[in-house]
Chain A
Amino acid sequence: MTEKKRYKPLASSKYMEKTMTRYYALSQYHRFWGKPLRRPLAWVTSGAPVELLRAFKIHPVYPEQYGAICSTKKATEKLCQVAESAGYSQDLCSYARSHIGSILRPDLAPMGGLPRPDLLLCCNNICGTVLKWYEVVARLLNVPLLMLDTPYLPGEYEKHTKEYVLEQIHDMINFLEKFTGRRFDPKTLERHAGYSNEAVNLWKEIRELCRTTPSPLNGPDLFIQMAPIVVLRGTSPVVDYYRRLKQEVAQRVKEGTAAVDGENIRLVWDNIAIWSNLFSFTKMFTERKACFITDTYTGGWSMVLDPGDPIESLASAYTKVFLNRSPDFRARQLTELVRDYSADGFVMHSNRSCKPYSLVQEVIRRKVMKETGVPGLMVEADMADPRAYAEEPIRNRVQAFLETLGGI
């Protein structure tokens, strides 16, 4: 009851559900329309330049998002066990394990598993795991693997790095021309990059509306509302959706409507959500009137493409992703969020599945605390695997943390 009162659903969600249902239905029936329309299906990592695929009329499907879906549908544990008994260590990424489990045992998987791909597109800007994961999938399903290597940036994005990424994209275009039998049309790419940019800008504006006190959105809103921009990036429906969402959020701001009634603690979230326990975890905060006003993860989809040659702007945007940057860069980013959103503290999810995100969090935590003077809490869990989530120790930490912020 109190939960309902404190947590306000968005009217737009209904449309989002429609958009997502349509996307997944379309994907599931791809076997009927893909061939006749000469539109192959690709499995794609979340940080891959999907605009390229769109320019070749390839339909993208996202195993990472599917990993999150498996978790919210309580299927992760079974699917991971399937992968684990096939030899994949329990310490490997839970998205990857559950996805591999869904390939091996579609009968245990939500939606009966993802529709089979004709192609894989992997970009290592988010981690090294995606390379290993997609290699396994490529062997299992015997489909070509396209890999975009975006070198880690210890410092700035340098000329030789840019040239390297560009050369790979051009090489990819050559491959895709042969693979699809379609000619590359820079205009089409530009159009899709344009849609991406519109959606990204809207998402950015929606997020910035949360700088208001009280915040119109809470963490789970951000995590749920990001779904369309992940899978439909580069299309026009996604632009329509975020326009609608922005209106609703702007209305909340105008009316002073808070996502968390009586908001009195403003927090920044760092890392992927704890999908398996998203609502019970968030409740520990909402019941103490704490709101996650912004986060670093869903902010990954708010990087605007530079004007100019679309291939160059794709290369730059995808290589400069925050997970491909130094702790120093990430600490600066988090510090800015704390300041721009007038946050009282931040919470880091030490996510066993995601080493590049998590291993550097403690040095970032110290740096940001020093820089901003606000406290940061670290809780260890996993983005998808419920077996790594221990409710009581987490509750203990969260409560103590909120007590230091909001008084008893």
Chain B
Amino acid sequence: MAEGNKTIVNEAVDLLLEESALKGSRFAERYPGRKAFGFFCSYWPEELVLAAGMEPLRLLPSPGNANPSELPAYSCSLVRGCLSMALQGGFKGLAGVGFAHTCDAMQCLGGIWEETMGLAGTLTVVPPVMLSGAGAGKFFENELSILLNKLGGIAGSSPGEEELSGALDLCEKIRRQVTELDGIRAKLPSDLVAAVMRAGQVMPRKEYSRALEAALPALKEGASDPGGRQRVLVTGAVLETDSLFRMIEDLGGRVVADDTCTGYHHYTGPTRPANKSPLEAIVSRYTGMAPCPCRNRGLDGRTDYLEDLAAGRKAGGAILVIRKYCDPHAWDAVTVAERLRGAGVKTLVLELEASEVAGQERTRLQAFLESL
């Protein structure tokens, strides 16, 4: 842990950090009898998996450069890494794997998965692209209700309103807890917060909520003024390690606002509106999540969100992380950078092969933080 931070000693925090580092790799052994259902994208409706009696487990690649022959070298390391792990048996024991249709690479990975890992247990849900467009809500609801049936089929359950409601309550509770943590992140080491948030995607949700409940007081206790640290916003897709956040911390920065898929982005969205069925509530939550480059909420949805986020957290700089060959984020980077710079937020577009950062990135990050 970097200088100037209090050391936080707490059993619950340790558990969360451990789970985060394991990334679900010892799920079966640690949680015997539970059925884990893999997913890739934050648009994958966790509530439905929980309602069906399974545990949603975000699939993350292991470090290193994987090149499965099924994919060309110009596909992103997330799809290459995950496919490679799957082919080597790294994900066996899962009850199934779910693809939320988001980008072209995910669409293709879903197809390749069906061809290589088998159709059974491979599910796809297609959220509407124009989230506020005509018929989008109804279509999404239909997609979810079909998906719920399929999940029930896999789990051998027949989830209804009651199960959905329970799952929704649990997810909302977790989102509230994580939001509380997000509220004090400026006073906590960036990599610690990132790890705790990622843990909530790779361990059983009830256990996560319980552990976070127990950890929050200690985290609050350990919070301390960031002092002269440079306040930055980070946005990007999946970060399977804390490498980047740790380096920012090491170089005297602090991630005060996080919009990465494995970070706070995953927990955003409106809470259950009154007078709505659980399924409608789930639709409204996923529709209202922080904007993703793969979806459209008007031309300014995402830039507005990020500008507000940076302003609200008083971020002086923003780091736009692009995984090499990730089209949606690469496309958005131009517009987002222009908008943020216009708003007086210095912006660095950082292209990474995967999520680990090394010497080259250190130079760029250091120069960037020095410029703030």
Contact = CB atoms under 8 A, between A and B. Distances in A.
Q: Do A and B have CB atoms closer than 8 angstroms in the complex? A: yes
A359 interface: yes
A372 interface: no
A73 B119 CA distance: 45
A68 to B, nearest CB: 20
A160 B70 contact: no
Contacts, number: 152
A92 B327 contact: yes
B25 interface: no
B107 to A, nearest CB: 6
A117 to B, nearest CB: 15
A170 interface: yes
B296 A131 contact: yes
A376 to B, nearest CB: 14
Contact of A164 (B105, B138, B327, B334): B138
Given A91-B330, A147-B133, A147-B296, 19 more contacts: A86-B334, A87-B337, A127-B104, A128-B327, A131-B129, A149-B136, A152-B101, A152-B124, A163-B139, A168-B135, A327-B115, A355-B75, A355-B104, A359-B104, A360-B108, A361-B72, A362-B72, A363-B112, A367-B115
Interface in B218-276: none
Given A124-B129, A350-B72, A359-B108, A132 B138 contact: no
A334 B35 CA distance: 38
A156 to B, nearest CB: 12
B348 interface: no
A136 B296 CA distance: 12
A149 B139 CA distance: 11
Given A129-B327, A367-B115, A355 B105 contact: yes
A185 B105 CA distance: 40
A124 B129 CA distance: 9
B134 A170 contact: yes
A350 B70 CA distance: 12
Interface of A: 86-89, 91-93, 124, 127-129, 131-133, 135-136, 138-139, 145, 147, 149, 151-152, 154, 158, 160-161, 163-164, 166-168, 170-171, 326-328, 350, 352, 355-356, 358-363, 367, 380
Contacts of B337: 87
20 contacts: A89-B333, A93-B327, A128-B107, A131-B129, A132-B293, A132-B327, A133-B331, A135-B299, A139-B299, A147-B133, A151-B101, A160-B146, A167-B134, A355-B105, A359-B72, A359-B108, A359-B112, A360-B111, A362-B69, A362-B72
A136 B335 contact: yes
A93 B328 CA distance: 11
Contacts of B330: 88-89, 91-92
A132 B122 CA distance: 28
Contacts of B110: 154
Contacts of A131: 129, 296
A371 to B, nearest CB: 13
Nearest 6 interchain pairs by C-beta: A167-B135, A359-B108, A171-B134, A160-B142, A132-B331, A164-B139
A363 B335 contact: no
B57 to A, nearest CB: 21
Interface in B316-352: 322, 324-325, 327-328, 330-335, 337-338, 349, 351
A318 B104 CA distance: 18
Interface in B97-133: 101-105, 107-112, 114-116, 124, 126, 128-130, 133
B105 A359 contact: yes
A178 to B, nearest CB: 14
Nearest to B322: A89
A90 B328 CA distance: 13
Interface residues of B, number: 54
Contacts of A127: 104
Contacts of A149: 128-130, 133, 136
B10 to A, nearest CB: 42
A149 B327 CA distance: 18
A168 B331 CA distance: 25
Nearest to A126: B104
B114 A135 contact: no
Contacts of A171: 133-135
**Chain B CB within 10 A, most for which of A133, A164, A171, A327:** A164
B74 A91 contact: yes
Contacts of A164: 128, 135-136, 138-139, 142
B143 interface: yes
Given A136-B331, A136-B334, A161-B139, A145 B133 contact: no
A163 B135 contact: yes
A132 B139 CA distance: 22
A87 B146 CA distance: 41
Contact of B331 (A92, A151, A328): A92
A327 B128 contact: no
Nearest to B302: A135
B104 A139 contact: no
Contact of A128 (B69, B79, B103, B128): B103
B135 A91 contact: no
A168 B133 contact: yes
